[in-house]
Amino acid sequence: MDLIVFWIMAPVSVGAAVLMLLQRNAVYAALFLVLNQFTLAVFFVLLDAHFLAAVQVIVYAGAIMVLFLFVIMFLGVDRREALVEPIRGQRGLAIGLGLLLAAGVVLAIGLGIGLARAPGPAPGGDNIEAVARVLFTDYVFPFELTSILLIIAAVAAMVLARRKARGLPDLADEAPAGREPERVP
Amino acid sequence: MSSFPWLTVTVFLPLAGAVVLLALTPLPRRRPEAGGYGADDPWRWVAFLVSSATFVVSLGILTEFRAEPGFQLVEEAGWVGPLNIRYVLGLDGISLFMVLLTTFLMPLAILASWRVERQVPYFMASLLALETAMLGAFVALDLLLFFVFFEGLLFPMYLVIGIWGSGRRVYAAVKFFLFTMAGSALLLVAILFLAFRSETALGGMTFDLRQLVGMDLPATTARWLFLAFFVAFAVKVPLFPLHTWLPDAHTEAPTAGSVILAGVLLKLGAYGLIRFNLTLFPDASEDFRGLVTTLAVIGIVYGAVVALIQTDIKRLVAYSSVSHLGFVVLGIFAGTLQGMSGGVIQMVNHGLSTGALFLIVGMLYDRTHTRDLARLGGLARRTPVLAGVFLVVALSSLGLPGLNGFVGELLILLGTFDASRLPAVIAATGVVLSAIYLLWAYQRSMHGDLPAELESTPDLSGREYAYMVPILVAIVAIGVFPKPLLDRIEPAADRHVRLIAVEPSSADVVRAAGGD
Amino acid sequence: MRTPIAFFLVVSALLFTIGTVGVLVRRNALVIFMSIELQLNAVNLTLIAFSRQLGEVNGQVLAFFSMVVAAAEVVVGLAIIVAIFRRRVSANVDDINLLRW
Amino acid sequence: MTDLIWLVPALPLAGAVALLLAGKPLRRIAGGLASLLVGASFVVSVLVLIDLLGVGAEERTVAVKIFDWISVGSFEAPVELRVDPLSMVMALTVTGVGFLIHVYSIDYMHGDPRYSRYFAYLNLFVAAMLTLVLANNLVLLYVGWEGVGLCSYLLIAFWFERRAAADAGKKAFIVTRIGDTAMLIGIFLAFSTTGSVRFDEVFGAAGGLASGTATAIALLLFAGAVGKSAQLPLHVWLPDAMEGPTPVSALIHAATMVTAGVYLVVRAHAIFEASEVALGVVAVVGIVTAVYAGLSAIGQDDLKRVLAYSTISQLGYMFLAAGVGAYAVAIFHLVAHAFFKALLFLSAGSVMHATDGVIDVTRLGGLRRRMPVTAASFAVGGLALAGIPLLVGFFSKDQILAAAYEAGRTGLWITGLVAAFITAIYITRAYLLTFEGEPRSELHPHESPALMSVPMAVLGVGAVLGGLLGASAQTGRVQRFLGPVVGEPEAHAAAGALSEVGLSVIASAVAVGGIALAWALYGSGRVDWQALRARFGGARRALSRGFYVDDAYGALLVTPGKAAASFSASVLDTRVVDGAVNGIGRAFVRLAGVGRRLQTGLVRTYALAFLLGAAALVLVLVVRT
């Protein structure tokens, strides 16, 4: 059962990732990424990480990807990327080196732990409880720190993205009139 | 010994001030419409008060100091444990006056930059950060800690020259930066080499100067290390032929930058020669004495000769620094107590008189908007006080007895003469030349006909009095009664001289013979 | 039969590589960003797989933190993209090459 | 009272400080205050002198230490004053003449915009000069030495709006500093070989010095004296120094500062005597200068420049005396010269005051009728200078010539007589052209006010009666007083065939002859001196330019020096030294030019490099396991 789910999900996952890469339109790319993330959530379940599976769906596939889509819309939906690669050798080298990297990692996994080795026994008890216990005892301080990180990030985003700041020259305003953002109808 | 961490407080107070200044940056300006910063904006006052407070604290060091040869007020703490890099501060009679000179000049330099209008908070913060770095370098006893401070001062100085300078400021700043960086790269390598060496030689890696002193080095190794340290410090001093960054940096830097550069930064080179080259490699110092002395003498004469025909008064003063610092190095490497004491006190004197000369050049420039001597003249009639101040400072710089410059020059030449006569005799021509170029500069700016456009030049303002009077007082006080300084310098100088002076000087021989 | 951990790791490696290639070949800043997310997710998968292999939850906690950081990063990164877009009217990273010699 | 000797330099110093700092509020009383302080200094000196006379001749040397100044290791240079007959004679001369000149200046400088500043400098000068003569070690002496040089600079360039004055001041300072630096090296050598700079120890050790070392020290010190006392070849600054106010010329460039060199040689005579050649050099330089400057004086048309060259010439006389070992006589001539030369200068100043600055003798004439006091003063001073019997100059000059003769240096004696002859000519010429004959231009001179006349009268009395103090080289009061310091005057060593009286007669005859000749040329009216001027124009120009020594310096030293300096600055420094550095820099720039092509600015290129690294790392990892 386990293995069947995996073998269904793995091609879907990799395929979604590849398709994401091939989309010229950012919206489609985002949607394929969402699909990919759902498959990852399934993998998490298979690995008995129920809590993270939920987080993956809610935070990643939900919140973050919505943010992406929002920005895509904001910047204009139907901007298309040109297919011509301006940097000579970039595409070939990238794919070649990428394959090399993948091969290397797979080889390392094979050499390191063996491809067919069965996993250890599943931990008993409630995964959510276990995670919570560790998170709020051993890692409570980093956990609190993340809240600060998020606040800073939120503030930073506001500062960076706001249109006009008091006392500071507005970046957009300084641009010459002819370079106002042109919105494609 | 008192438990109060005098040195740490002195060193880091300015840095704290700089942080406060930066934090205060968003304070409203009083005259935002003018585009610049108004005269009564708070940042200048904050900077001035912080640097003055630092001076007051450093006076505390003076009261705690005893006239003994060793390091005092030592503070130690761990820093980078695995490498045994430690936070060790301490000072002796040599560094004491360097610290005092720094803390003394900084408030005056800040007062002198009241007219800086661009980016005032950042300017002041740079100056204060610079002060911390300089002070730290003077009191650090851990080699790596010293290096951190030594390098740390490059950046604020680079900013000060590059942002608030004049004319070709970026060129000058980059030149300054590259020269000193090139030297300190060698310094870092040499420090690391020493530390790794200590792991086997002393049974544990250390960067502590006091422990490294006792390390035995093969003669050849010591010579190479000496050269590495020497190049780093010779650039800073600067010794001929590594001096060419100095006229550019001095000329383009803003007044405060020139004052600090001439007054303190150059001393760091000479200080490093004493503190590290002589202390760590006494035998190699002995071997290279001839070379160093030759370079110093060339620097003295060469700097003076080139100064003779400068028409830019700031460049003239800059070249005079090359000449005067040659005296300092000459004294340090004379191998006599008089030479060493003279070298140290001359560092203080040069800081005061050349610092003051740059302040005066700044005042002249503020009034006339030119540094070209050909366009100045006759100002003594309109500005008698400025002329008088200029004259006193120029006389101090050319070594008139009764003013501070004489004490140092006399001791240096005397000490050098006692050890080796020819260098002293050649160096003495520098005394004549300095009279020529300084009086020439004075005459060209103050005497003769007054150009029509300078007819309404104002004399000193209250603020200008405030920063010139302390320097003048110090100039006269050291000239008339140098004993308090000499008494404190002498034990430390003696300790260093003993490292390199194998045979007693001829005067001492005579004296000993007479005593029998 | 339980799926061997190595399978997950291999999938993770593939996803990571795809993400890497995406970063390299795409020019739309947003898509590059998505590729980076893909890489992050791949790493999360690895973390959780190892966590499962070792039978403890520390790896999951680490993955959790990585998600938080990723969230923060996305927020700031997107803000930067928006700011750049305002200024240069482009989301093409090849247009942003001020930082060269 | 001796302990209060520090008051002597301190009082004028206090005056200088007060006037410098508070010149404006003190403006009205500046002159009075300054004169008063110098007068007080004089009184203290007199009291110390009385103390000194009260003790035995051998106990008349007292050292008063005031504070430690510079002391490092074995080197000690305290601020220590020396009270002995020599220093007291000098101190009395300085304060006495100084006081009179201060008083004279009150009226002379009246109305000058920098009135307070003038008196501040003058007071500072007196303080420095007193430090010089009272110092008990070479370094403190050097302090005074440089101090007077500074004041000389300040006062010569006092009217700095005039370029000539500013240049002259600078020249004076720099030329004397050349000598000073040599002297400084002499001090170092003395310290290096004797282990001290205190007079007692240095001079005490002089006898034990190797002859070469003693010569070196002596000649180096003498180089300082040559600079300060304007002897050949460093005399060029003194004639130019006449750009300063005339009382300054009287005080600094006639009575006191320029005599410091003589004082130094006398003070350090032990070292000079330890050397075989030093004294000879002193005597020869002195006599050559005396003749040279006397000839130059004949060619001067500017009254003050006549007096300047005259001063140089008389200083040469003093060095001659010192060079033949007649130290007391040298000092006596110094004192005598201070009186009559100050008198001459003050008279010249009086003329300037009356003629609104016209001082060219070819444009003056006939002033005696308008200014009888001034004319009489000048006449007395001139006669004293020429060495007419019973005036002070007669005794001192006569003793110098006698000393040279008795030392067996007949050549020096004869040359000295020539110099005396020339002296009589030029001073008579100056007097006749200025005060006698018909006025040669439309001037309306008037006699000077009392504050100027009285000091002149006092100095005149001194010039007349001064001889009483030192009528004979053996028995004169001054000479005997100085005896313990400079060695007792030697008993009459009749080395030559002529008796002392005979020598005096010859010297007097020479002086009278000179005066007669000058009168014949310039006063009798029988010779048209203006025609002579035109006829011997070349010779006159050579004389008036001091045989072109100054011009030679300009052509041989200053111009090439400037060229060398500008070569150093513009070629050597920027091209060679900085050029080497820039060359290295350029090489790196070229290298970097290749490397920086990698920095495309494209993020994706960088990321590719990133990936390259990552892949390489993974491969390494795999291969190793």
Q: What pLDDT score was predicted for residue A183?
A: 43
Neighbours of chain A (3+ CB pairs under 8 A): C, D
Neighboring chain C residues of D622 at a CB cutoff of 8 Å: none
Given a cut of 50, whether residue D101 has pLDDT beyond it is: yes
Tell me the Ramachandran region of residue D81: left when phi exceeds 0, alpha when psi lies from -120 to 50, beta otherwise. Answer: beta
Nearest Cβ partner for A108 among D600, D605, D618: D618
A10 within some domain: yes
Q: Which amino acid is at D590?
A: R
Q: What one-character-per-residue DSSP string does D549-562 give?
A: HHHHHIIIIIHHHH
Distance of alpha carbon A81 from alpha carbon B117, whole angstroms? 48
In a domain, residue A180? The reply is: no
Q: Is a pLDDT exceeding 50 seen at residue D322? A: yes
- pLDDT confidence bin for A16, thresholds 50/70/90: very high
Could you tell me which of A161, B118, A74 has the C-alpha nearest to residue C77?
A161
- Please indicate whether, in this complex, the C-beta atoms of A100 and D619 are within 8 angstroms of each other: yes
pLDDT in tens, B421-435: 888 888 888 888 888
pLDDT digit string, tens, across residues B340-392: 899 999 999 999 999 999 999 888 888 888 888 888 887 888 888 888 899 89
Computed over its alpha carbons, how large is the radius of gyration of chain C? 17
Query: Hey, is D74 helix, strand or coil?
Result: coil
Q: With cut-offs at 50, 70 and 90, classify the pLDDT of residue D550.
A: confident
Higher pLDDT, B376 or D444: B376
Binned at pLDDT 50, 70 and 90, residue B28 comes out as low
- Which pLDDT value is given to residue A120? 67
- In angstroms, the CA B180 to CA B158 distance is 11
D605 CB neighbours in chain A (<8 A) are: 87, 90
Task: Tell me the pLDDT tens digit for each residue of B301-350.
Answer: 888 888 888 888 888 888 888 899 999 999 888 888 888 899 999 999 99
- Single out the residue of B38, B7, B130, B142 nearest to residue B86, CA to CA: B142
Reported as a pLDDT band with limits 50, 70 and 90, residue C43 is very high
CB contact, 8 Å: D622 with chain A? Answer: yes
Report the CATH number at residue A30.
1.20.120.1200
Amino acid in position D126: V
The rounded distance, in Å, linking the Cα atoms of B450 and D609 is 67
User: Is B435 close to D174, i.e. CB distance below 8 A?
Assistant: yes
Are B241 and D577 a contacting pair at CB < 8 A? yes
Nearest to D608 among C24, C98, C101 (CB): C24
The mean of the pLDDT values for chain D is 82
For residue range D471-511, list pLDDT tens digits in order: 666 667 777 777 777 765 554 444 556 677 777 888 888 88
Indicate the pTM of the whole model. 0.77
Q: How many domains does chain A have?
A: 2
CA dist A48 and A120 (Å) reads 12
Peptide bond before residue D239 is cis, with ω within 30 degrees of 0: no
Q: Do C67 and A72 touch (CB under 8 A)?
A: no
pLDDT-derived band of residue B508, with 50, 70 and 90 as boundaries? low
**If we measure between CA atoms, which residue out of D611, B85, D224, D522 comes closest to residue A96?**
D611
Same-domain status, A2 and A73? yes
Under the banding of pLDDT at 50, 70 and 90, the label for residue B32 is low
Measured CA to CA, the distance from residue B96 to residue B139 in angstroms comes to: 8
* Shortest distance, CA C96 to any CA of chain A (angstroms): 14
pLDDT for residue D599 is more than 60: yes
Name B81's Cβ contacts closer than 8 Å, sequence gap at least 6.
none
A2: domain range?
1-81
- The answer to whether the Cβ–Cβ distance between A111 and D622 falls below 8 Å is yes
Contact A20 C22 (CB under 8 A): yes
Helix (H, G, I), strand (E, B) or coil at B8: helix
The radius of gyration computed from the CA coordinates of chain D, to the nearest angstrom, equals 31
Residue B439 within any structural domain of the chain = yes
Chain B hits for D189, CB-CB cut-off 8 Å, are 417, 421
How many residues are present in chain D?
Answer: 625
> Minimal Cα distance from A94: which residue of D?
D608
Of C6, C17, C86, the CB nearest to A109: C6
Confidence at C45, pLDDT banded by 50, 70, 90: very high
Q: Is A101 within the bounds of a domain?
A: no
CATH class of the region C5-88: mainly alpha
DSSP code at position B68? -
Report yes or no: B118 and B164 within 8 Å, Cβ to Cβ: yes
- What residues have CB less than 8 Å from D616, skipping those under 6 apart? none
Of residues B145, B246, B129, the one with CA closest to residue B191: B145
Q: Which domain holds residue B442?
A: 288-502
Q: Please identify, among A57, A81, A105, the residue that sits at the C-terminal boundary of a domain.
A: A81
Residues recorded for chain B: 516
The b-or-e profile of B245-279 (16+ CB within 10 A means b, else e) is bbbbbbbbbbbbbbbbbbbbbbbbbbbbbbbbbbb
Contact between residue B419 and residue B334 where contact means Cβ atoms under 8 Å apart: yes
User: Nearest 5°: phi and psi at B78?
Assistant: -70, 155
Do the domain assignments include residue A109?
no
- Residue A168 confidence (pLDDT) above 50: no
DSSP characters for D251-307? IIIIISGGGHHHHHHHHTHHHHHHSSSHHHHHHHHHHHHHHHHHHHHHT--BHHHHH
Q: What local confidence, expressed as pLDDT, does residue C38 receive?
A: 92
Facing D625 at nearest CB: one of A97, A98, A111: A111
Query: How far is residue B45 from each of residues A137, B106, B120, B366, C69, measured CA to CA in Å?
Result: 50, 13, 11, 21, 43
Total structural domains within chain B:
1
Residue A115 lies in a domain: no
**Residue at B36 is within a domain:** no
Report how far apart, in Å, the C-alpha atoms of B192 and of each of B147, B215, D579 are. 11, 14, 32
CB contact under 8 A, C78 and A157: yes
Supply the pLDDT for residue A184: 41
Please give the pLDDT value at position C100.
63
Query: What number is the ipTM of this complex?
Result: 0.69
What tens digit of pLDDT does each residue of D133-160 get? Answer: 888 888 889 988 888 888 888 888 888 8
Nearest chain A Cα distance for residue D619, angstroms: 6
Query: D227 at the B interface (CB within 8 A)?
Result: no
